[in-house]
Every structure is written in C-alpha cells, then in structure tokens.
A and B are shown apart, each in its own frame.
Chain A
Amino acid sequence: MSITVENRPEEKRVPPTAEQTTCDHCGEVCEQELVAFRDKHFCCVGCKTVYEILSDNQLETFYQLEEKPGQQLRGRAMEDYAWLEEEEAITKLVDYRDEQVLKVTLHLPQIHCTSCVWLLEHLYRLDEGVMRSQVNFLAREAYIQIDPRKLSLRQLVEMLARIGYSPRLQLDKLNEEKAAPIDRTFSYQLGVAGFAFGNIMLLSFPEYLGLQETTFQRWFGYLNIFLSIPVVVFSARSYWQSAWHSIKQYQLNIDVPISLGVGVLFLRSVFEIISHSGAGYLDSLAGLVFFLLVGRWFQQRTYNHLSFERNYKSYFPIAVLREERDRSWKSVTLDELQVGDVVRVQHNGLLPADGILVSGDARLDYSFVTGEADPIRKDLGEQVFAGGRQTGGKIDVCLTKTVSQSYLTQLWNDEAFSKDYSTGSSQMLTRVGKYFTPTVLLIACSTIAYWWPIDHRIALQAFTAVLIIACPCALALSVPFTLGNALRLLGKHGVYFKNTAVLEAMYGIDTVVFDKTGTLTERSDKLGLGYDFPLTAQQQRAIKSLTAQSEHPISQRLHAEWPTIETVEPTDFVEVVGKGISANVEGQMVYIGSPAFFQETVLAPGTWAKIDDTLIGPFQVQHTYRKGVGEMLNNWSRHYDLFLLSGDNDAARSELKRYFPADQLHFGQSPHDKLAFVKNLQGEGRKVLMIGDGLNDAGALQQSEVGMVVTEDVNNFTPACDIILSSRQFADLQQVSRYGKATIKVVYLAFVLAFIYNVIGLSFAVQGLLSPLIAAILMPLSSITIAVVGVLGSSWLFRRFLEG
C-alpha cells in the first residue's frame, strides 16, 4: 500500500477563528477545529488526511474539477472490515474471482460529483493492485477489478473508506442474488418498431400521393408485410401477453382493444395487399406500436440510486464480532450467528439480534427503530432487542434469538410484506378499459349487423375499420406522458415516486397517518439542547471541556452547543454510569448529570450542571419541528383525516393537540401496533397515506395505500415505501399533493381529447369510409396531441404549484 500517513511538520492545529473558514476538502464551515496543512485549511484531521493522500499521489485534479468536492469525515469512525478476510464472505460479495483477478461491484453512496468519478476511476494511482475501476454515476456504483496477489478485497474497501467512500456493505448485500444480466429486450423492441415505422412510411409514399403505378405498389406492399412481421411478433409482444393474461382472468384491460386493433390491422392489411384490393394500414400499425413503446419508455423513470424495496437487511451491518471457543474475538457475518453466541457491539454499532446483556454499559438508541428519542439504559442480565445503536463503550450480548427471528425482524413476517401490491399498471386506464372495451365491441358488432344484409364486403370492411380506429393508442399514451413527465419534474425537486401508479393512488387518499420523531420533527441525532438562561463564556468552556470526555449522547449534544469555544484538558475525570460525570476543569469542580446525580432535592427533569457551587439547568432535549409543519398540518386537516402514531412518550401531546383531534393522537406505539392501526383504518374503508421515516414505520408503510418516507439524505437507508421525500422538501408537501391531483385532471383532459379523436374516426369507420390515408393521419395526430398536452400540461402546472 502506498498510503502511509504520519503527522508531518507541515500540519498545525489552530483554534477556529471568528471569521468563517470553509474546509478545502469538503467545503463545510470549520466550526469545531481548524487544521492547517501546507497552504490549505481543513475542518478535521480526516479531511486533511484525504488531501494528503491525494496530493502525495498526484491526484490533485480531484480538487480542480469541482469546488471543494470532498466528503466530510468528521465524526466518522473507521469500520472494522476484518470479516472481509473470510473466504465465504468474499465469495458471496464478488462478481468473479480467480488467481489473477477479482471483480467486484461496490455501492458507494457518497458519489456525488464529477470529481468523485474522476478520483474513483484513477484508483490505480493509489495502489497498483487496482487493475480497472469504472463508475456508474447514476447508480452510485463502482465496478472494480483488482489483482488479489497485490491487493486484497479488505485492503481495497479500507482504502476506499479512508478517502471518504465507504462502500455500503449491509446484510442484504450478502444474500443478494448475483446480478441478473440486464434485460435489454425493451430497447430492441423499440429499435425494431422505429426502424419498421420509418421504412414502411417511406414505402407507403406512392399511396399517400395517390400514384397509380401498380407494379411498385405491389412490391412495396410485400416489402411492408415483411417489415411489419417483426413489429407484430416481437415489438408488440408485451401487449399480446398482457391482453391474454387479462382475458384469462375474465377481465378486459386496456391492452385487449390495443392487441385487437394491432391484430385486425395486420390481418386486414395482409389480406388487402395479397388480394390487390388496397394498400393496407401497415404504416399505421408500425406507428401505433412505436408510439406506444415510446410512451412506455417515457414512463419508465427509474431512480438508479434509490431503492424502494429495502427491509431490515439493508439496515443491519454485514458482520459482527463473535467470541470463539478459545475466547478470542472473530468477525463473522450475521447469517452465521446462532442462539447462545456472544457478540460484541462497539460504540455506534448496531445490535443485530435479541439477547441478554452480559457485560458493558448498554445505552441503546432505538430512535430509528421505535421512535423514542432518548437512549435506553440496560443493566446486566436484562433483555436487549435488535436494532438498537449502542452509544458509549462496548457491550457483550449473549443471543437468545437469531437475526431473522428477533422481535423487530418478525415484523417482516407479516402478511403485508408477502402481498404484491403495486404492479405499476395504471388503475385509471384499467377502469376506463372496463367500459371502453365492451363499448367498442358493441359498436363493431352493430356495424357488421347493419351492413351485412346490404353488402358483405362493406360489412367486413366497416367492422375491421371500427376495431382499427378504436384502438385506444392515444388513450393509453395519456398516462405515461402526463404522469411520467410529472414524476421526472418531481424527482428533480427531491420528491421521488416509485412509479406513476403511486401518483394515481395519491388521488384517492382520504386519511393521513404521521409518525412523529424523524418525520414531523428532525431526526433525534440532530436534536439540540435547549436552555433559557444566560451562560458566561467561562461556564460554557467548563461544560464543553468536561463533556468532551464522555461519549454519552447528551454530553455530545452539550459539547456541540458552543462551536467557537475552546476546550481545556480536565483532570480527575469520573463517570458515574447512568447518572453523570464530573472533573476538575481549570481548578473548578464541574458536575454534569441527571437530577439524581446531585444532592439537591427538587430539581426539574433534564440535565443539570454544577460549577463549584452554582447550579445551572435544566438543559432539555428539544424536538425541533420541521419547517412548515404547523402550516401544513393546519391546511391538511381541512382536506384529510389526520392521525399521529408515535413510538415516543406523550411529552409532545399538548403541542400536537393543536393540529390533531385529541383522540387521534397515539403514543408509545410499537412497530406491530402501527401496522395493525393502519389495517384497522383500511377496514373502515379509508385510503391511507402513511408518512414515516424509520424501521418502526416499515409495517405501516407497507400496509398503507401509499407509504412515504422522509429522509435527510436520499442515499441513506429508507424502509420499503412508494415515495421518498427529501426532508428539505417537507414544507412543500401540500403543494406536491395539490400538484399530483392537478396532473390527474390533465390525464382526464387527455382522455376527453382521445375520445373526441375516437368519435371522429369511428364516424368514418361505421360508414365504411376509412381510407388508409385518413388512418395514417388521424392515428399519429391523436397520439402526438395527447403526448404534447400531457407534457406541456404537467410542466405548466409544475411551474405554477412548485416553482411559484
């Protein structure tokens, strides 16, 4: 490894100055410290180290491509990757390996700019063991080939972590199916349809111009049949399949008339061309399939870097330290854990399964799992549950359950998770299809019944013409173009919908269920401490210096309260577990802790400090509500029935009463309670939108009609859901829902337009007057009108609702 880092004489730590300096690596304001190195300034040693590694390896281009492109490293602890030495783990992770080469695809959520791409594709300059590295920016993935004789997988991962790109290695990565080869059938189908459309139009030109040169036209006709066969058989395959599937279930979806139209178009055209009675409608046929596929392509908007399907396995780490028979500690993957194993969880580590605490001081933060803001203390011998994040020192836990059988993970055994809800197909089109298809068949049958006694030939012509012109191509295009465009715009705005069907489902919502912690309020790890009394700079320094010694979350919050204050090194530091801490700071005795820590009898709840004999307090954890929450709740309470389900205690009840009816506030809810609650609401016939953030909402999110997750960083873990909302857009939520409703109205407008075209076409068809020319004009014209109305309408509404 060419990365060697030692302290160099150039490095200098200087106290942060009053003027704001931003870190030359990550661009963050240097609040807590300022590290000067060569001619640059950094917010922490981590950032400086990365700069040093890069500049020593001639990788300074990283800093030239983008302004301060680095990842902030402050407060990020290096993970233990020892388990990456295990043969079994390596085999499960890599794409391919032999003696000379190892290929692996790593998900690096920190990739965010051009510099990242450049750096990760120049990894070979950091270590000659890297043979090749290629980045897929949208998927946030790097495809890396290494020479296992020079660089092990563990060394590679550690090198990436050191420069700020820790690969996402969670439990799900272990059980992941080896990536299936990408299905590119759709691209081929689209290509074939486009190719045939263009060429058939060209060969149909004599027909459009009304030329009477028959020899060409006959040959052109045969060529057209030849060109259209792949369109019918290959490009339109998914429509045939969908229609057949729907008929088998005794339903008539929108693909039935489409398939019928395509089939009749083809058969009648072939008949006309072979019998020399006409030119056929093959140009319309190819165009129809082509436009339908373009619509589908427009609708398929996948957010490569987001996943809407995650479960607890994407949250849990992949490995944990386990005590072996010979009392040594070995890093093993979670699927190997058995009941009775003793595992060790370090500071900031996640407890992977239920067990009994056997050693250490457990202070488990369950905020992401239960919604409770404060860490929970456990004594030796007490039961601890999976999903808690240990804060403080290390603990050892003897497992009583395996990972998949633990209390939390059992939530995923609920039937809600086995149901396949969203097929992504449009409910609106299915509803319209239910009436549309029988109507068309009825008109077609009446036409043939009317003409048959008069003229058999006209009767057959009119019958097929009805089926051709009624083919709901324009109708089927309204949803993909309007809603597909809306989804794209919303995605740019930080609101990510899983598919267009979710936007439709939003329209029917009448009940909204909120989670509190992390959804209405900021995430608990971002909570500040509030106090309403003045503090002198000296008191602040005393408190900050003492709290620097403790890893307790309250201490860390207090420590972060005064960023510009300098700290000193205290002496005689003492920590009384579960109560408080004390030390001598600059000759003064300083105590910080809960009321029980002090001899004083009457103290308000919260955290108190005592400097010499002066009592200061209380400092209380503040739930900061997200910006715009009040306004949004007030507005929504007029349109929806609002409920609140919180895993936390009911301290915030009085405040929330302003927005929610008193009997619709529920506190102390377990993940299982939340799921059952949503089920109950649905039992009353309600359509539920669940808005949550954590694992504790996973069941309710899955059960509800629409599940929305609020997240600070869309690349972080989010439980399975339908919508991912960046927390910056939370205040816009009501505008988003209004916009969603307005776009549905645009779709209805497009429906009306499509019907008008259909009626015009049908009026020709029932009279037996539909010429190939009229069909060739009407079909593309209607499709293009619908596409343009859909795209322009949804864009205009977006500007009106979300950019105004």
Chain B
Amino acid sequence: MNVIFFLILLSLLVAVGFLAAFFWAVRSGQYDDEYTPSVRMLFDDQVTKDNNQL
C-alpha cells in the first residue's frame, strides 16, 4: 500500500505545478487585460505590398 503515499505525493506535486503555473500567469500580467488578447488573436498577419516587392 506504500504506493499510495507515492501517488499522493505525485498528485500533490502535479497540483503544485499547476499552482506555480497560475502564479506565473498572474505575475506576467495575463489577467491584467482579459479582453484585448481575444481580439488580437483574430488578426491575420497579412503580407504588405512592400514585402511583395522584395
């Protein structure tokens, strides 16, 4: 049954990993603006006329 201890530790470790990821996301400002990125991701990168000439 000792495997349970191992599994519990593992699951906690995974959860701590997710918590750390959440902290990182907050710290890097991902929750500061919850709207604009949803608009920005829909923009297509179009090739400008200048680039076409090159």
C-alpha gap A182/B31 in the complex (Å): 11
Q: Are A187 and B15 in contact, CB atoms less than 8 angstroms apart?
A: no
Known: A117-B40, A199-B12. A187 touches B31 (CB 8 A): yes
Give Cα A187–Cα B16 distance, bound, in whole angstroms.
Answer: 16
Asked whether B19 lies within 8 Å of A187 as measured between CB atoms, the reply is: no
Known contacts A199-B12, A216-B4; decide if A61 and B40 are in contact (CB<8 Å): no
Q: Which residues of A contact B6 (CB under 8 A)?
A: none
CB distance from A3 to the nearest CB of B (A): 16
> Could you write out 6 A-B pairs with CB less than 8 Å apart?
A117-B40, A137-B36, A184-B31, A191-B22, A192-B19, A203-B8
Q: Which of B13-53 contact A (CB under 8 A)?
A: 15-16, 18-19, 22-23, 26-27, 29, 31-36, 39-40, 42-44, 46, 48-50
Tell me if B35 and A137 are in contact (CB < 8 A): yes
Q: Is the CB of B32 within 8 A of A223?
A: no
B16 neighbours in A (Cβ, 8 Å): 195
| A121 close to B (CB within 8 Å) | yes
Q: Would you call B33 and A61 a contact (CB within 8 A)?
A: no
We find that the number of chain A residues with CB closer than 8 angstroms to chain B is: 28
> Is the Cβ of A118 less than 8 Å from the Cβ of B43?
yes
CB <8 Å contact, B19 and A117:
no
Q: Is the CB of B48 within 8 A of A125?
A: yes
- Check: A321 CB closer than 8 A to any chain B CB: no
Per-position 1/0 for A97-141, Cβ under 8 A of B: 000000000000000001001100100010000000001111100
A276 to B39 CA separation, bound complex (whole angstroms): 55
- Bound form: Cα–Cα A191–B27 in Å: 12
Chain B interface (Cβ within 8 Å of chain A)?
4-5, 8, 11-12, 15-16, 18-19, 22-23, 26-27, 29, 31-36, 39-40, 42-44, 46, 48-50
Contacts of A628 in B (CB 8 A): none
- A185 nearest CB neighbor, chain B only: B26
Given known A-B contacts A191-B19, A191-B22, A191-B23, A58 and B33 have beta carbons under 8 A apart? no
Residue of B nearest to A195 (CB): B19
Bound CA–CA A121/B33 (angstroms): 15
How long is the Cα–Cα vector from A61 to B45 in the complex, in angstroms? Answer: 10
Q: Is the CB of A182 within 8 A of B32?
A: yes
* Residue in B closest to A182 when the chains form the complex, CB atoms: B32
Check if A223 sits within 8 Å of B36, measured CB to CB: no
**A interface: dominant SS:** helix
**Which residues of chain A are near B12, meaning CB under 8 Å?**
199, 223
C-alpha spacing A195/B15, complex, angstroms: 7
Q: Which of B4, B15, B22, B46 contacts A199 (CB 8 A)?
A: B15
Chain A residues within CB distance 8 Å of chain B: 58, 61, 65, 114, 117-118, 121, 125, 135-139, 182, 184, 187-188, 191-192, 195, 198-199, 202-203, 216, 219-220, 223
Query: Looking across the interface, which residue of chain B has its beta carbon closest to that of A220?
Result: B8
Contact present for B19 and A136 (CB under 8 Å): no
Q: Is the CB of B22 within 8 A of A58?
A: no
Q: Contact between B39 and A138 (Cβ–Cβ < 8 Å)?
A: no
What are the residues of chain A within 8 A of B49 when measuring CB–CB?
Answer: 58
Q: Name B21's closest neighbour in chain A (CB-CB).
A: A191
> Given A58, A136, A188, which contacts B23 in the complex, CB threshold below 8 Å?
A188
Chain A min CB distance to B14 (Å): 10
Query: Which residues of B sit under 8 angstroms from A184, Cβ to Cβ?
Result: 26-27, 31
Q: How far is the CA of A203 from the CA of B15 in the complex (A)?
A: 13
A191 to B30, CA, bound (A): 14
User: Do A223 and B31 have beta carbons less than 8 Å apart?
Assistant: no
> In the assembled complex, how far is the CB of residue B27 from the closest CB belonging to chain A, in whole angstroms?
7
Chain B positions within 8 Å of A125 at CB level: 48
CB atoms of A191 and B15 under 8 A apart: no
Quick one: closest A residue to B44, CB to CB?
A61
B39 x A137 contact (CB < 8 A)? yes
Q: Within 8 Å CB of A199, what residues of B?
A: 12, 15
Chain B residues lying within 8 Å of A65, measured Cβ to Cβ, are 43
CB contacts (< 8 Å) of A195 on chain B: these are 15-16, 18-19, 22
Distance between B15 CB and nearest chain A CB, rounded to angstroms: 6
Establish whether residues A58 and B19, one from each chain, have CB atoms under 8 Å apart when the complex forms: no
Measured between beta carbons, the chain A residues less than 8 angstroms from B35 are 137-138
How far, in Å, is B36 (CB) from chain A's closest CB?
A: 4
The docked-state distance in angstroms from the alpha carbon of A692 to that of B29 is: 38
Q: Sorted from nearest, which 8 A-B pairs have the closest CB atoms?
A: A137-B36, A187-B26, A58-B48, A195-B19, A136-B33, A191-B22, A138-B35, A137-B35
A188 to B31 CA separation, bound complex (whole angstroms):
11
Tell me which residues across on chain A come within 8 A of B4, comparing CB atoms.
216
Query: What residues on B are CB-neighbors of A187 within 8 Å?
Result: 26, 31
Question: Is A198 touching B15 in the complex (CB atoms < 8 A)?
Answer: yes
Q: How far is the CA of A709 from the CA of B45 in the complex (A)?
A: 43
CB pair B15–A117 under 8 Å, yes or no, is: no
Q: Chain B residue with minimal CB distance to A187?
A: B26
CB <8 Å contact, B26 and A139: no
- Please, which residue of chain B has its CB at the minimum distance from the CB of A203? B8
How far is A216 from B48 in the complex, measured between Cα atoms in Å? 65
Q: Closest CB of chain B to A147's CB: distance in Å?
A: 19
Beyond contacts A65-B43, A136-B32, A223-B8: 10 other A-B pairs, Cβ-Cβ < 8 A, are A58-B50, A117-B40, A137-B33, A137-B36, A191-B19, A192-B19, A195-B18, A195-B22, A198-B15, A199-B12
Closest to B27 in A: A184
Contacts of A121 on B, CB cut-off 8 Å? 40, 43
Tell me the bound Cα distance from A138 to B32 in angstroms.
10
A117 touches B39 (CB 8 A): yes
Task: List, in ascending order, chain B residues with CB within 8 A of A182's CB.
Answer: 29, 32
Minimum CB–CB distance from A531 to chain B (whole Å) comes to 48
Q: Are B5 and A219 neighbours in the complex by a CB distance under 8 Å?
A: yes
Docked CA distance A65–B40 (Å): 11
Give the residues in chain B near A191, CB-CB below 8 Å.
19, 22-23, 26
Residues of chain A with a CB closer than 8 A to B50's CB: 58
| A223 to B8 alpha-carbon distance, docked (Å) | 10
- When distances are taken between beta carbons in the complex, the residues of chain B under 8 Å from A192 are 19
Q: Which residue of A lies closest to B31 (CB)?
A: A187
Cα of A58 to Cα of B48 in the assembled complex, Å: 6
Contact B33 A139 (CB under 8 A): yes
Nearest Cβ in chain B — how far from A787, in angstroms? 21
Q: CB distance A136 to B11 under 8 Å?
A: no
Q: How far is the CA of A184 from the CA of B18 in the complex (A)?
A: 18
Instruction: Across the interface, name the chain B residue whose C-beta is closest to A116.
Output: B39
A191 to B8, CA, bound (A): 20
Nearest-CB residue, chain A, relative to B26 = A187
Q: Are B19 and A202 in contact (CB under 8 A)?
A: no
Nearest CB of B to A341, in Å: 42
Nearest residue (CB) in B for A219 is B5
**Bound form: Cα–Cα A139–B35 in Å:** 10
Bound-state CA distance A585–B36 (Å) is 54
Question: In the complex, what's the smallest C-beta–C-beta distance from A228 to chain B, in angstroms?
Answer: 14
- Give the complex CA separation of A220 and B5 in angstroms: 10
Name the A residues within 8 Å of B33 (CB-CB): 136-139
Q: How far is the CA of A198 from the CA of B29 in the complex (A)?
A: 25
CB distance from B10 to the nearest CB of A (A): 13
Report which of A61, A138, A220, A223 forms a contact with B46, defined as CB distance below 8 A.
A61
Q: Which residues of A contact B36 (CB under 8 A)?
A: 117, 135-138
Q: Complex formed: what's the CA distance from A199 to B18 in Å?
A: 12
